[in-house]
Homo-oligomer: A and B are copies of this chain.
């Protein structure tokens, strides 16, 4: 079953300069926190560097050579992202991150379209970024929030979906859970939401880096994601929106670049996508994200997915023997139904202590509530340890995690 192409993974690893640097204790860096942010390949770092060293200039209004090149590369990056998700270029709006993308919809669509009788349907799996904006919109508009429940394995319970969808004006749902790796079966949910007449927003922050995602096939109105989790730089993210719905929305942030004409007393606005991009864009990082998308395409999203599935299967296999000693793994244990996230607790070792002990071995994991406090409280976990996988991880990384768990057991005298 395990058929990891080691040569390819080694080539991938060589593309990530940080992975060649030992920790201050001289350990190999075993990076298992890609769900928080991914590492960056040379091509991405170099694309940013090249912009600043060779053609840094403000875009869109510049007549001179480097300004023209900056504009071209910036808009080419948008086209690359559009192609990657199968959307039109005008449907790709740059934001800082997934969070800003969701807030843009909350302000520009939510406040306009939701009222006291309306229902926002979301799920118990949501990251704070796809929950708190809707709480605030609900407070401001009088709309109410409703939740698709999650079962003990962190999978959504869809039996009562038809009832839950009654009167729903907005479905705001995650594609993949960052805490448990659950892949939400959107293909079962979206057609019903469409039939119920709901507008659909998907939080794709954890999906885009790991799965091939096609906007036209998914048929969503909005899809939000962040560059930094998909090998791209920090500070750049994307809101995809269907053209018609974006056209109908008022602008969000106002200022330079998003206008058509300004008089002292009133203004008219630019075409898509610029209508939603006020002020000087994050030019360098948009170009960096374009490079990241090309890099992912060169690996092939099918390879990315199968590599993670194989690693996940290997990890579950290696972790299983620790169960009798108190290792609890949360979420769907099935690599078919989950992305590369392993959320766990080991006996009475608190997740933060686990993370500190693993750190001494160079193993980087995340501990805490993973910005899903309500899910944690529902499940009765005060914190979990989370190891998450990506393109540069290997079986050796999983082995290092296991050794770290053994060390933690020794430290805690289990």
Q: What's the Cα separation between A66 and B27 when bound, in Å?
A: 13
Q: Is A56 an interface residue (CB 8 A)?
A: yes
* Per-residue interface assignment for chain A, residues 308 to 327, with 1 indicating a CB less than 8 Å from any chain B CB and 0 otherwise: 00000000000000000000
Return chain B residues, CB-CB under 8 Å to A58: 33, 36-37, 228
Interface residues on A, range: 35 or more
The answer to whether the Cβ of A282 comes within 8 Å of any Cβ in the partner chain is yes
* Residue pair A233, B52 in contact (C-beta under 8 Å): yes
Assess the A253–B103 pair: CB atoms within 8 A: yes
Which of these binds chain B: A125-133, A151-159, A330-338? A125-133
Cβ of A371 within 8 Å of any chain B Cβ, yes or no, is yes
- Report A164 CB to chain B, min CB distance, Å: 14
User: Which residues of chain B come closer than 8 Å to A39, judged between CB atoms?
Assistant: 56
**Proximity bits, A247-268, B CB within 8 Å = 1, else 0:** 0000101111111011111110
- By the criterion CB–CB under 8 Å, are B264 and A145 in contact? yes
Q: Are B256 and A358 in contact (CB under 8 A)?
A: no
Residue of B nearest to A373 (CB): B262
Contacts of A364 in B (CB 8 A): 57, 62, 64-67
How long is the Cα–Cα vector from A306 to B107 in the complex, in angstroms?
A: 45
CA distance A367 to B136 in the complex (A): 42
Interface pairs A-B: 7 shortest CB-CB: A99-B279, A235-B282, A129-B255, A99-B255, A132-B254, A36-B58, A63-B355
User: Can you list 12 A-B contacts (CB < 8 A)?
Assistant: A17-B53, A36-B57, A36-B61, A40-B56, A64-B355, A67-B364, A96-B235, A100-B279, A103-B254, A128-B254, A128-B255, A234-B283
List the interface of chain A (C-beta within 8 A of B): 17-18, 21, 23-24, 29, 33, 36-37, 39-40, 44-45, 48-49, 52-58, 61-67, 96-100, 102-103, 106-107, 124, 127-133, 135-136, 145, 147, 226, 228, 233-237, 251, 253-259, 261-267, 278-285, 352, 355-356, 358-359, 363-368, 371, 373-374, 377-378
